[in-house]
Amino acid sequence: MSKKIYFPGEEIAIEEEYSAGKKAFEENGAIKASVYGELILDDMNREADIKGKMLEAVDIGDIVYGKVTTVKESSAVVELIKAENNKVLCNTRAQLPVRNVSKEYVTNLGEFYHVGDFIKARISNVDKYSIDIATNETGLGVMNAYCSKCKSNLNYSNEKMMCLNCGNVETRKWFEKEDVRKERPAGDRPSFSRGGSRGFDRNNKFPRNNNRGSFGNNRNNNKFSGRNNFRGGRR
C-alpha cells in the first residue's frame, strides 16, 4: 500500500502527541509539514517529520494541463496531469466553472468542452480541498480533442473542429482561437453563409471529393450549405 504524501502546511500530527521535526512546524497546537513528502513518525523520540524536499506548490495564476472527465451545465471536472515549472499539484482534480470558460457569454458548456478533451488552463483559485481553473483568455482551452462519433482526432480550422475521418463537425474552445480573432480583422474572415462556395482544399489538409469533401446537402460542388454551414462560433 502506498504511503500518504503530505503538502506544505498540511497537518501531520498534534502537539500533544508529537513534537515538530526538522521539516515540520507547530501552529495552534498542530504539527504541520513544511515541505512536500512522506510522513515519518519517530515514536521513540515522539517526533513527527517529513521525508521529502521543498517543492513549490501550484498557486493562483499558474498554468496546468489536464483531461476533461465530466461536463455539466454549470461546470466541468478536469483531471489534472501536470503543472508548468514542475510545481506540485495539491489536488489532482479541478473544477472549471462556466463563468471561467470564455470571455463571452456561455449558454451551453457542452459546446466548449467534451469528455476526453485535453486542455490548458490557468488556476483561478486554490485551497486545501479544491482547485478552480479558467480558460477565459488567449492561449487557454482545448489542445487536443476527439470526434464524438468515430473517436478520431479533430482538426481545428476556421473556428470549427473537423474530423477528417468521418466528416463530423464540432465546436470547442480552442486554445489559439482568441489569438486568431485578435489578429484578423472581422472583414478579413471567411464568410460561411448559406450557399457559400468556400471549401477546404489540399492546403487546408481537407481534400475535395464527392464523398467526404463537403458538409451539408450540396455534395456535388463542395459548397457549405444546409444545417452544417460554417459560421463564426461563439467563444
pLDDT tens-digit map of 4-53: 788 778 899 999 899 999 889 998 899 998 887 889 999 999 999 998 77
Please identify which residue in the block is written with the cell numbers 498540511.
Answer: 10
The CATH number assigned to the domain holding 28 equals 2.40.50.100
Residue 129 pLDDT level (bands cut at 50, 70, 90): confident
Domain that includes residue 97, residue range: 63-144
Q: CA gyration radius for the chain?
A: 24
d(C-alpha 119, C-alpha 70), whole Å:
13
pLDDT at 107 over 90: no
Give the count of domains, the chain: 2
Residue 91 belongs to a domain: yes
Write the single-letter amino acid at 68.
V
Residue 164 belongs to a domain: no
Asked whether the CA dihedral 234, 131, 88, 1 is positive or negative, the reply is negative
Claim to verify: residue 78 and residue 47 sit in the same structural domain? no
Claim to verify: residue 84 and residue 36 sit in the same structural domain? no
The CATH number assigned to the domain holding 70 equals 2.40.50.140
Residue 82 belongs to a domain: yes
Q: What is the per-residue burial (b if ≥16 Cβ within 10 Å, else e) of 207-234?
A: eeeeeeebbbeeeeebbbbeeebbeebe
CA within 13 Å, CB half, 32: 11
Residue 201 belongs to a domain: no
Which segment of 52-61, 72-81, 133-142, 177-186 scores lowest on mean pLDDT? 177-186
Claim to verify: residue 83 and residue 132 sit in the same structural domain? yes
**Does residue 122 contact residue 100 with C-beta atoms inside 8 Å?**
no
Claim to verify: residue 18 and residue 80 sit in the same structural domain? no
Among the candidates 83, 112, 144, a domain finishes at 144
Residue 196 belongs to a domain: no
Q: How far is CA 54 from CA 34, 58, 156, in A?
A: 8, 13, 41
**Does residue 111 contact residue 134 with C-beta atoms inside 8 Å?**
no
pLDDT tens-digit map of 49-88: 998 776 677 889 999 999 999 999 999 999 999 998 878 7
Residue 26 belongs to a domain: yes
Q: pLDDT over 70 for what percent of the chain?
A: 73
Residue 231 belongs to a domain: no
**Does residue 34 contact residue 25 with C-beta atoms inside 8 Å?**
yes
Q: pLDDT over 90 for what percent of the chain?
A: 44
